[in-house]
């Protein structure tokens, strides 16, 4: 399918949407994909839409793991996606927590931390995508609230085959078949 002249974007939450939420996932050796997640990213790529991740990572702020460890986890995600011919165009993360021991991360209600829309707004601006031309796939109320505040349609994913979940929603966004 050829790319539409108008940019579209799918904004994925990470834990519980793309990878199994094990509680503060950061170890690349323990990466476990949600069913259909890699196929969903590949579908987004095939139709020419932008694929991004926006993820709260308070485990960094809380001192459970480092930014370098999170980046290693993301590198493994990207590596495994590339093996299947899929890619994520950019990953946005919010490491902040109001009780962080490290003052760099100690921020109450940071504008990037969902339910605030900062990460989504950055993604839209970075890729010149209108909010009406983007969807957010998340598994928590905070994801849906961030989408609402950014003017993006949010879809609450509660498990199952992510590719099947995404297919119809992506077709509605783009106004065309996306199989």
Concerning whether 89 is annotated as a catalytic residue, the answer is no
Concerning whether 15 is annotated as a catalytic residue, the answer is yes
Is the CB of residue 122 less than 8 Å from the CB of residue 92? yes
For residue 7, the surrounding DSSP H or E stretch is none
- In sequence order, what are the residues at sequence separation of 6 or more whose Cβ sits closer than 8 angstroms to the Cβ of residue 4? 48, 174, 176
Query: Which residue among 15, 112, 139, 143 is the active-site one?
Result: 15
Q: With the CA atoms of 154, 158, 80 and 83 taken in that order, what torsion angle do they form, in degrees rounded to the nearest 10?
A: -80
Helices (H) and strands (E) in the chain, counts: 6, 5
- What are the residue numbers of the active site? 13, 15
């Amino acid at each position: 399918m050829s790319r539409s002249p108008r940019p579209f974007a799918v904004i994925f939450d990470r834990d519980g949407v793309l990878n199994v939420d094990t509680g503060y996932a950061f170890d690349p050796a323990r990466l476990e994909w949600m069913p259909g997640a890699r196929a969903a990213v590949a579908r987004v790529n095939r139709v020419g839409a932008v694929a991004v991740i926006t993820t709260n990572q308070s485990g960094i702020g809380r001192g459970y793991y480092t930014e370098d460890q999170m980046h290693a986890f993301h590198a493994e995600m990207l590596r495994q996606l590339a093996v299947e011919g899929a890619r994520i165009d950019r990953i946005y993360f919010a490491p902040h927590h109001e009780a962080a021991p490290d003052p760099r991360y100690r921020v109450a209600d940071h504008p990037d931390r969902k339910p605030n829309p900062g990460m989504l707004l950055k993604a839209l601006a970075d890729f010149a995508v209108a909010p009406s031309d983007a969807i957010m796939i998340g598994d928590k109320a905070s994801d849906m609230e961030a989408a609402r505040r950014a003017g993006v349609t949010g879809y609450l994913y509660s498990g199952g085959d992510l590719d099947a979940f995404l297919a119809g929603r992506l077709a509605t966004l783009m106004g065309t078949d996306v199989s």
